[in-house]
Structure 1
Amino acid sequence: MALTGAVLGAALGLGGCMSGGDNDVDVLALAAETDPPDVLYNQGLANLEGGRLGEAAKKFQAIDRQHPYSEWARKALIMQAFASYRGGDYEEATTAAKRYISLYPNSEDAAYAEYIIGLSHFRQIPDVTRDQKQAAYTATAMRALMERFPDTAYAEDAKGKLRIARDQLAGKEMLVGRYYLERRDYLAAINRFKNVVDVYPDTRQVEEALARLTEAYYAMGLIREAQASASVLGQNYPDSPWYRDSYALLKGHGLEPQAGASDSWFAAATKKITGAS
């Protein structure tokens, strides 16, 4: 691997501590005005190794600003993204990484830049009760990484984080669906639960979504739909506690799970879940 990749490999082993010496950043930036790019770059690396992440980012920024479009600027830009990410400045990390991809889409570090974008959003995903735009951004970035660079060393981790982000998005849909269900707004609840199955069939939320559909449909008096929902759940998750609950609900009223028509939403849902597993 070329110089940048080797430096990144070493940098990944550094601790995640925040810079404690940012009071000197402005002075350093002014002093750097007369430094050549290789000196600035090595100073940036030294700051990285010393855990002075803010100072490191400033050094790499100075190269990009003073020597734009040079080879040193290319190397410095990806390192700036890395230093900003490790320093917890996720907005700056994302901005630098996106700029890198825009300027150098086919370079050896383009995959790493995409990875930094995904990681920066991933670190900002809040609990499921709050807005999940960061989870959506994470999913978009990690999917882009896997599609553009399927053989990169970061692809496997990106796959795992994509799964977590999607489960978070599905969890938010379930939260809203349960809210409607508790208030007996069954149609709104059903739409949310069906969306989980349609859009996130590979997440752990699907089992509960199908059980809640059974519950909501039965509450509305839509017996065939309730039976079909329970049937999809039983076919795909026969050992699930959610299926036991749905089965007990129907059995308690003299009913059994029953598959829906072959051209119904329930048949399509079964195919989606099977294909996702």
Structure 2
Amino acid sequence: MLKTPKWAAAVMWCAMAGAGLALGGCASSSDATSILNADPPEKMYADADSLMNRGRFQDAAKKFEDLDRSHPYSPEARRAMVLAAYAYYKAGKGPEAVASAERYVVMHPGTKDAPLAHHIIASSYFDEIKTANRDQSATRKALEQLKILQSRYPDSTYARQAENRIRIAEDSLAASEMEVGRYYQGQKNFVAAINRFRTVVSDYQTTAHVEEALMRLTECYMALGVVNEAQTAVAVLGHNFPESKWYRDAHALLTQGGYTPNADSDSWMTKAWRAVPKFGLGGPG
């Protein structure tokens, strides 16, 4: 049987030793070191809280995340997760704040800090709301979170704060629908315009834009010859906003064509309106 030469054994030993050193180098990376040599959770929490108090929000967020990774089953870990989201938000890191807060609500729904997590998500998106002629994706996401706060956590501080923001978000979405609707109307694409104005009347009745939307619906329906819907639009407008200049304009347009306001009980407008108008046979004149 052939014996392994002494020099070959020495080469193999060196190779194995080198591999061991390489592995040791990997294990000594910053992430591994932080996990292997992590401080106790209470100290990490205190350090992160101290960073927050000094306005070093991004450093605090990373420290809270380190705590969550190093001591995932500690009492401090769950709170650290939502505070990491809050620290990222304070640091102006919206996407990171949303990601951390969403992770929290997935893992710990319905807990004491869940309203705070939803508030962080809502605030991050709310800060990104654009003007009416810009993309409204952030507005829709903010509104979704704000409504979750109101419906699931009505007694929370954040739900009470959400009320005004909901009005702002809905107004922004309604304004955007009106912007696009007016564009389509100007292009004489009346069906597309109606779809936009319909959204305002159906979904954003509490905004100031609903009066104009009903007027524009009158114009579009008259242009298409759909008189009964035009009559309903003017009737709904007159019943709910009798002093509105939009009602005066819509009423004038309708009467010029020889028609009077009349609410059709089968119209989508009559069904969609929250306070269904109670008109007489002919509606308001």
User: Please, what TM-score do these two structures have when normalized by structure 1?
Assistant: 0.82
Asked whether the 8 Å contact 2:178–2:196 carries over to 1, the reply is yes
Q: Which residue of 2 is the match for residue 270 of structure 1?
A: 273
Structure 1 distance, partners of 2:229, 2:38, is 74
Q: Which residue of 1 is the match for residue 187 of structure 2?
A: 183
Q: Which residue of 1 is the match for residue 264 of structure 2?
A: 261
Q: Which residue of 2 is the match for residue 79 of structure 1?
A: 83
Amino acid at match of 2:263: G
- Quote the offset at 1:272 in angstroms: 5.7
- Quote the offset at 1:273 in angstroms: 7.2
Q: Which residue of 2 is the match for residue 133 of structure 1?
A: 137
Asked whether the 8 Å contact 1:194–1:209 carries over to 2, the reply is yes
Q: Does 1:246 align with 2:237?
A: no
Q: Does 1:202 align with 2:202?
A: no
Cα shift readout 1:73-130 (whole Å, capped 9, x = no counterpart): 1121111111111111111111111111222223211111111111111111111111
Amino acid at match of 1:268: K
Structure 2 distance, partners of 1:30, 1:240, is 69
Structure 2 distance, partners of 1:270, 1:107, is 37
Q: Which residue of 2 is the match for residue 123 of structure 1?
A: 127
Cα shift readout 1:180-214 (whole Å, capped 9, x = no counterpart): 10011111111211122122223222111101011
Match of 1:222 among 218, 223, 226: 226
- Quote the offset at 1:175 in angstroms: 1.2
Q: Which residue of 2 is the match for residue 146 of structure 1?
A: 150
User: Please, what TM-score do these two structures have when normalized by structure 2?
Assistant: 0.79
1:177/1:254 CA distance change after superposition, 3 Å: closer
Structure 2 distance, partners of 1:184, 1:106, is 50
1:39/1:271 CA distance change after superposition, 3 Å: closer
Q: Does 1:158 align with 2:162?
A: yes
Q: The residue matched to 1:129 in structure 2 has which SS?
A: coil
Q: Which of 1 and 2 has greater Rg?
A: 2
Q: Which residue of 2 is the match for residue 8 of structure 1?
A: none
- Give the stretch that moved more between structures: 82-91 or 223-232: 223-232
- Give the stretch that moved more between structures: 101-110 or 149-158: 101-110
Aligned length: 248
Percent identity between the two aligned chains: 43
Q: Note the aligned Cα RMSD (angstroms).
A: 2.4
1:119/1:70 CA distance change after superposition, 3 Å: same
Asked whether the 8 Å contact 1:198–1:272 carries over to 2, the reply is no
- Give the stretch that moved more between structures: 196-205 or 39-48: 196-205
Amino acid at match of 2:273: T
Q: Does 1:40 align with 2:55?
A: no
- Give the stretch that moved more between structures: 163-172 or 231-240: 163-172
Cα shift readout 1:202-231 (whole Å, capped 9, x = no counterpart): 322211110101111222233333222111
